[in-house]
Structure 1
Amino acid sequence: MTIPVDIANTIVDPKAYADGDRIDQAFARLRRESPLEVAQPDGFDPFWVVTRHADILEVERQNELFHNGDRATIVTTIEADQKVRAMMGGSPHLVRSLVQMDNPDHFAYRRVTQGSLLPQNLRSLEARIREIARSFIDRMAAQGDRCDFARDVAFLYPLHVIMEVLGVPEADEPRMLKLTQELFGSADPDLNRDGKVATNVNEGIDSLQSVIMDFMMYFNAMTEDRRASPREDLASIIANGKVNGEPMGHLEAMSYYIIAATAGHDTTSSTTAGAMWALAENPDQFARVKNDPSLIPGLVEESIRWVTPVKHFMRTATADAELAGRKIAKGDWLMLSYPSGNRDETVFEDPFSFRIDRTPNKHVAFGYGAHVCLGQHLARMEMRVLWEELLARVDSVELDGQPTRMTANFVCGPKAVPIRFKMR
């Protein structure tokens, strides 16, 4: 038995994620009727769809059995996979970051920056992050009583934080934001490089490759600079980092920069924008957290669960295995559906309600196990600090138009969140 083709097509359709309700309904049906089953959307190789929280954790904790890098790490058509492999000498990956690595490489490369991103080493950044948060809140206040919270605050604040940590000059931040949106929004005509929906695989892959090349040209120059004159920034750590006693390979180093310069802010931006959207639609939750700042960490966790900006990763079975009573064959491809895991009714009471006091809130939005998000502690700190500063000044908020989401099936969040507010 396989998943009905209409549902299979929905779970890979970027437009379904922009819709929100359509993708939620598709995953709810799968959890109910086919929680672990094979999908074969039109034009794709078959893959298992892992929809339940427990099964996602089971795959994530077995890194030797379920690899990241053996096949494409993001769901992709047969034709696109063939195109990428032809371009990349047989590799299914346009980049080779931590996301595309398995051990021993994954562990060795992760160690290069892991220490810098541990909570105890991030504490020294909090005062500066608070200063940055206040500057964006001041800008918001200067706009009067309305703004697009996504574009005016949520996109720009985490961008500025990570670029400062990375060592990218402020003047280059608009370029980094544009490249990030072109990379993750490649299916969205409002965001992608070509300003249109790709009509064939070649267009889409060529556009992505040109975005990646622009990133690489930028970071190649930065690498040369940091090797000649190291600074106290993440770029210097990457530029001079060694793996097994040797400098990183060029593709690996460039990929390291790219993931830091994209995922390092985009997912936090999406979560922050989604939190404001949810608070504007749930005035009772806004009032509670406004009146009780001790609920802010709960707001942060619930917004991460609610938005789940990374929609999936793919894994490949390295041997025959069993998962939830189903036989998985060596070489099988599995989609870990994080939004589905984060709406799993057996784990989250009333999962389609936004509840800032949800306890426990064991969401899987950051992944789990060896591949858990490297920047999760920085992301949490950024969001906590912003809400501490913003809720002290905003007295009310409501939507001022219909918010919209990006058209994307991999990394996706709000594209516009128009709000009206009263601020001190």
Structure 2
Amino acid sequence: MTEKPAPRDPFREARVASGVLGCEFQGELVPMILRHAEVRATAKDWQTYSSDAPLRVPIPSEEEMRTVRQLPIETDPPLHGEYREIVEPFFKRPKDPEFIARVEALITELLEGMLSRDSIEIVRDFALPLQSRALTYLLNVPEQEADTWIGWGVHVFKDGNDGEVKGAELERYIHAQLDRGEAQPGEDFFSALSQAQFQGRRLTRDEALGFANLTFAGGRDTVIHTVSSVIAYIAEHSEALAYLREDPKRGIHASEEFFRVFMPLTHIGRVCPAGGEIHGVPVQPGGRVSLCWASANHDESVFDAPQEIRLDRKPNPHLAFGFGTHICLGAAHARLIVRVLLEKLAAMVEGIEVISATKHIEREAAYQRWTGYGELLVRVKGKA
């Protein structure tokens, strides 16, 4: 099934011409690697392109927003694998039938609430509560904790107050949860971190902070923006709902296509300890390169008509969740949410009308890219 063109790919010209785009971030010239095959190869070559770079893996870097290394993402193998094993049991929960049932009930509840209103703003009144409440299931904490997380906004660093203020607020919250986990350990994420063993010792407080920091900083806005973009697409393409209604299993391929196209995270950084050169762009020792997931997901040598959204696209080797040893821990969680959302929309909704929308644009000197919605006000009609 072929639909109208997706949002513009700002990297196409550079990807075709040279495979790299030099872009300045915080005064540092960072070559963005653009082609699918090269992004995958770079992601696997951790000896040359290291993640052992506290605070510098995100681009722009986050020195002013947090004080701890995010774990396990800002480490290399074999430490990365050892750290990852500590928290993997929580991130495998979306495959459990009971967990799936809770997410299904949550999305049904939120859609019923949507249908009872004349209009709803999707980003903050639907997608933000959805991911916040689902995250309480993932971390096995009381669902009322979501009220606090909703108050942080769409992103814990980049929404509302400046990042330094919000980063300090996040760290105070995590400290309090870890203190509780030490004093009264339970079956929740924070208790697990406070009791975890690593190489024969307890995790340090900074290590525990690093795990929790990544969970909140990297695991909320991406899902929120994807959910909002999916609903906007459905509103503009009513035939998509009819297509999904014919066979609920179609939501599996459709969700993967939405992840490919609606990629909120443009790229991620790696550090080159020895320096080098990327397609003519020099990298100083200790300098960074960028793995541009968003460009790789539109590589015309891999994806036929990449600017089109094809809900039946297969194969679909997108890199929305990264690649290699650092592949996203939260991938199963995100996949479940979007797949269930599509199933419930097809079953419960007749159509969606966009009343107003404000796109969120990532603006850099070398490119501008649409990454989601700042505001999306819609009117929803339920099935008769």
Shorter chain as denominator, the TM-score bin is 0.7 to 0.9
Alpha carbons 2:157, 2:166 under 8 Å: kept: no
> CA–CA distance in 2 between the matches of 1:128 and 1:26?
39
**Partner of 1:198 in structure 2?**
none
* 1:99 and 2:97 aligned: no
- Tell me the equivalent position of 1:149: 122
1:177 aligns with 2:160: no
1:163 aligns with 2:136: yes
Q: For 1:2-37, what per-residue CA distance to the aligned partner results, in whole angstroms no more than 9, with x for missing partners?
A: xxxxxxxxxxxxxxxxxx96xx45311211223125
Conserved 8 A contact 1:44-1:76 = no
SS at match of 2:170: helix
Indicate conservation of the 8 Å contact 1:149/1:419, yes or no.
yes
CA contact (8 A) 1:184 1:411 kept: no
Provide closer, same or farther for how the CA distance between residues 99 and 261 of structure 1 changes in structure 2, counting only shifts above 3 A: same
Which is further off, 53-62 or 320-329?
Answer: 320-329
Greater than 4 Å deviation, 4+ residue runs:
320-330, 406-412
Structure (1/2) with the larger strand percentage: 2
State the AA in 2 paired with 1:166.
L
Task: Normalising by structure 2, report the TM-score.
Answer: 0.87
Q: CA deviation at 1:412?
A: 4.6
Query: Alpha-carbon deviation of 1:328?
Result: 6.5
> What is the CA-CA distance between 1:297 and the residue it aligns to?
0.8
**What per-residue deviation string (whole Å, max 9, x for no partner) do you get for residues 160-192 of structure 1?**
01123324444442432343535342xxxxx32
Partners of 1:251 and 1:213 in 2: how far apart?
A: 14
- Of stretches 365-374 and 171-180 in structure 1, the one that deviates more from structure 2 is 171-180
Quote the residue 1:117 is aligned against.
91
SS across alignment from 1:402: strand
Contact 1:182 1:211 in 2 (8 A): no
Residue 420 (1) aligns with residue 375 (2): no
* Aligned position for 1:10: none
Residue in 2 aligned with 1:47?
Answer: 30
One-letter amino acid of the structure 2 residue matched with residue 175 of structure 1: T
Q: Which letter does structure 1 place at the counterpart of 2:199?
A: N
Q: 1:238 aligns with which of 175, 184, 193?
A: 193
Partner-residue secondary structure (3-state), 2:318: coil
Q: How many residues align structurally?
A: 373
My pick for the range that moved more, 395-404 or 313-322, is 313-322
For 1:412 and 1:286, how far apart are their aligned partners in 2?
23
The alignment's C-alpha RMSD in Å is 2.9
User: Mean Cα displacement is larger for which, 279-288 or 333-342?
Assistant: 279-288
- Code of the residue aligned with 1:387 in structure 2: it is L
Is contact 1:312-1:338 (8 Å) kept?
A: yes
Q: In 2, Cα distance between the equivalents of 1:76 and 1:265?
A: 18
Deviation at 1:387, TM superposition (A): 2.0
SS at match of 1:98: coil
Shift of residue 70 of structure 1?
3.2
Residue 28 of structure 2: SS of its match in structure 1? Answer: coil
Distance 1:376 1:74, change over 3 A: same
Alpha-carbon displacement from aligned partner over 1:55-101 (angstroms, at most 9, x marks no partner): 11010111222112337212348xx86xx5xx99xxxx654332222
Report the Cα distance in structure 1 between the residues aligned to 2:183 and 2:156, rounded to whole angstroms: 30
Q: Which stretch of structure 1 is more off in the superposition, 363-372 or 392-401?
A: 392-401
Letter in 2 for 1:211: K
- Residue 128 of structure 1 corresponds to 102
Amino acid at match of 2:132: L
Q: Distance in 1 between matches of 2:9 and 2:217?
A: 29
The Cα shift of 1:321 comes to 6.4
Q: How is 1:259-278 mapped onto 2 (pairs within 5 angstroms)? A: 259-278=214-233
Q: Alpha carbons of 1:175 and 1:208: their partners in 2 closer, same or farther (altered >3 Å)?
A: same
Task: Please say if 1:224 is aligned against 2:224.
Answer: no
Q: For 1:288 and 1:367, how far apart are their aligned partners in 2?
A: 29
What do the CA deviations read for 1:398-418 (whole angstroms, capped 9, x no partner)?
322234226577995322222
Whether the 8 Å contact between 2:40 and 2:323 is mirrored in structure 1 is: yes
Relative to its length, the structure with more helix (as a share) is: 1
CA contact (8 A) 2:18 2:279 kept: no
Partners of 1:67 and 1:411 lie apart in 2 by 28
Alignment partner, residue 318 of structure 2: 363
TM-score w.r.t. the length of structure 1 is: 0.79
| One-letter amino acid matched to 1:133 | I
Indicate yes or no: 2:160 matched with 1:192. yes
2:228 maps to a residue whose letter is A
Task: Give 1:294 shift.
Answer: 1.8
Q: Please state how far the C-alpha of 1:51 moved relative to its aligned partner.
A: 0.9
SS for the counterpart of 1:400 is: strand
* Cα shift at 1:324: 7.2
Conservation of the 8 A alpha-carbon contact between 2:257 and 2:313: yes
Report if the CA contact (8 A) 2:31-2:281 is conserved. Answer: no
Per-residue CA deviation, residues 109-132 of structure 1 (Å, 9 max, x unaligned), is 111011332378533311111111
